[in-house]
Structure 1
Amino acid sequence: MTDHAAVVHGEPVPKNRVDAFLQTVPERPCRGAGLYSSAAPPRGATSHNGAADAKRHNAAPPAALSAQAQRQRRRWATQVVVADELARRACAERGLAPVAEVSPTRLLAVAEKDVADLGSIIAAALAHSPAARAFLTELEAEQDIPEEAVRDYYDRNRDRYLTPDALRRGVDPFRRTAPEDFLPYEQAREGIARELRHAAGRRAFFAWFDRARADVVYAAGHEHPGDPSHPDHEHRH
């Protein structure tokens, strides 16, 4: 019986890394992710005191997961751990030194919006992995946003740049307006460029992850949750 969950570039990723990560993941189902709760745990809760916290807050214990849900949970967790491993390697190649987590046993909290925007695997990987966050930051810094792209965004989204006075007066940005109703482009430019760079960095991260995991070999029971080669697959990220 194999003791690894996956093989990444010829190196085994031990199952105990997946097990350790699962200890930080609440089992409550989450709308949108299909697998896990993205709600933050009570302050101070860890994987060891979660039951006590639930009792103290008079919360009913969650129903036990089915065997299929447990299998999918492990497959999902393997993807997150593989993302962490790949990001560690990418950071090492670039000479980046991610800041280590202070309390790796703390329950993982993933914002609902991040699950919706990124998918549960990437959202959890970024919440769990300092290396993934460091690599994403590096990718964002590399994005070159042309001036014309920033200007085009400003021109197409004028409703976002109404001045406070115009908002108070109920100015409709799509009807008759005056130039003074809008924040000048020069003042909005930096924020727009930052938003576009952030979005471009995320797209680059998605593309990198798809390429980087293409050659990963998974042990039985640790395949991607959406892999159609196993009968109970679910293509939900």
Structure 2
Amino acid sequence: MKPPHSHAHADAGTAALIGPHTVPRTRVDALLSAVPARDPETSRPESLARAERQRRRWATQVVVADELARRECAARGLKVPPEVAPERLLAVAESEVADLGSIVAAALAHSAAARTVLDALEAGQAVPEADVRDYYDRNRDRFLTPDALRRGVDPFGGTAPGDVLPYEDVREGVLEELRRAAGRRAFFGWLDQARSGVVYAHGHEHPGDPSHPDHEHRH
């Protein structure tokens, strides 16, 4: 996802602008207070300052994603979850960070609105039957029976009848997995587009924005 590069010319209390609407710094500060800083890898003052700058930029992205999601809920006629100042960020699994990136994973953990948008996008995904069957056929190792696993059966080297769970038994699970993956891709696409018009105050830019010297292109 491309990081936005724009900068806001706004008062000191503004972290970002979404059209004419401001995202106040107080929301970013509240999130930062709920997310403990990582143990520093170094005690060098310049490194600590850089880490804190990046942490603020990261938190701004999470707050902006929440605000964009709240607006998307309203636009879709979905119930907009109430805005609640975080006392602590919900735990984010390492697997979620690996799959989604730290910003999106944290946004989904922090923002009920973001989860509502994701659910709506996921529900709208139509997965063709041919794709479900193709996934089953190409990933037979995932559908070995417990007995076949104990015997070390090679799923691609010739299986006997009964070594692989029948398609009918696993179809719904595969369908849900593919729909969830498609929903996440749709969420990434929506967030990319929604963020394209956001303007950030100095010090609140995207962590991967190359216009600031210590950028990191990590999500």
Under TM normalisation by the shorter chain, which class is it?
A: 0.7 to 0.9
Note if 1:2 corresponds to 2:12.
yes
* Deviation for aligned residue 1:103: 7.9
Which one of the candidate residues 187, 192, 209 is aligned to 2:169?
A: 187
Question: Cα gap change, 1:116/1:142 in structure 2, threshold over 3 Å: closer, same or farther?
Answer: same
1:75 is matched with 57
Runs of 4+ that moved beyond 4 A:
62-65, 98-103
Residues 28, 60 of structure 2: 8 Å contact kept: yes
* TM score, norm. by length of structure 1: 0.82
Note if 1:13 corresponds to 2:23.
yes
**Runs of at least 5 residues in structure 2 that lack an aligned partner in the other structure:** 1-10
1:104 is matched with 86
1:117-155 deviations in whole A, cap 9, x for unaligned?
Answer: 100000000000000011101110000000000000000
Q: Secondary structure at the match of 1:23?
A: helix
Note if 1:120 corresponds to 2:120.
no
Q: Secondary structure at the match of 1:179?
A: coil
* Deviation for aligned residue 1:69: 1.0
2:132 is matched with 150
Residues 136, 167 of structure 2: 8 Å contact kept: yes
CA distance in 2: counterparts of 1:82 and 1:127, whole angstroms: 14
**Runs of at least 5 residues in structure 1 that lack an aligned partner in the other structure:** 35-61
CA distance in 1: counterparts of 2:81 and 2:16, whole angstroms: 25
* Deviation for aligned residue 1:174: 1.6
Moved more, 106-115 or 219-228: 106-115
Q: Secondary structure at the match of 1:78?
A: helix
Question: Cα gap change, 1:102/1:10 in structure 2, threshold over 3 Å: closer, same or farther?
Answer: closer
Note if 1:139 corresponds to 2:149.
no
2:35 is matched with 25
* Deviation for aligned residue 1:112: 1.0
User: What is the aligned-residue RMSD (CA, Å)?
Assistant: 2.2
Residues 26, 107 of structure 1: 8 Å contact kept: no
Question: Cα gap change, 1:103/1:68 in structure 2, threshold over 3 Å: closer, same or farther?
Answer: closer
* Deviation for aligned residue 1:96: 1.5
Amino acid at match of 1:232: D
Where relative contact order (Cα < 8 A, 6+ residues apart) is larger, the structure is 2
Residues 18, 81 of structure 1: 8 Å contact kept: yes
Identical counterparts, % of pairs: 69
CA distance in 1: counterparts of 2:37 and 2:114, whole angstroms: 23
Residues 69, 114 of structure 2: 8 Å contact kept: yes
CA distance in 2: counterparts of 1:170 and 1:4, whole angstroms: 60
Note if 1:215 corresponds to 2:203.
no
Residues 70, 81 of structure 2: 8 Å contact kept: no
Note if 1:225 corresponds to 2:203.
no
Residues 107, 114 of structure 2: 8 Å contact kept: yes
Residues 31, 59 of structure 2: 8 Å contact kept: yes
Question: Cα gap change, 1:99/1:14 in structure 2, threshold over 3 Å: closer, same or farther?
Answer: closer
CA distance in 2: counterparts of 1:29 and 1:119, whole angstroms: 20
